[in-house]
């Protein structure tokens, strides 16, 4: 839940009492992959919006 809410994986790892972040990363690898895909889509949308705003200003 915390990772979905964009809470730092470092914080989540410490809160769960994992010895290191690798434990958290391997345990939640499927979720991290999903979040990365969401971030990639969001990044594309941001750049597309910036391009549209630039055209509208010009």
Distance CA 47, CA 14 (A): 34
The count of domains in the chain is 1
In a domain, 19, yes or no: yes
Distance set, CA 23 to CA 6, 11, 34, 44 (Å): 18, 13, 18, 30
For residue 13, give the nearest of 23, 50, 4 by alpha carbon: 23
Q: What is the pTM of this model?
A: 0.67
In a domain, 30, yes or no: yes
In a domain, 1, yes or no: no
In a domain, 4, yes or no: no
pLDDT at 53: 79
**pLDDT, tens digit (0-9, with 9 covering 90-100), for 17-58:** 999 999 999 999 999 999 999 999 999 999 999 988 777 776
In a domain, 28, yes or no: yes
For residue 32, give the nearest of 7, 3, 1 by alpha carbon: 3
For residue 32, give the nearest of 57, 54, 6 by alpha carbon: 6
């Amino acid at each position: 839940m915390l990772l979905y809410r964009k809470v730092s994986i470092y914080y989540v790892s410490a809160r769960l009492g994992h010895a290191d972040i690798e434990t958290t990363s391997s345990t939640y690898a499927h979720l991290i992959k999903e979040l990365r895909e969401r971030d990639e889509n969001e990044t594309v949308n941001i750049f597309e919006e910036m391009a549209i705003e630039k055209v509208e200003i010009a």
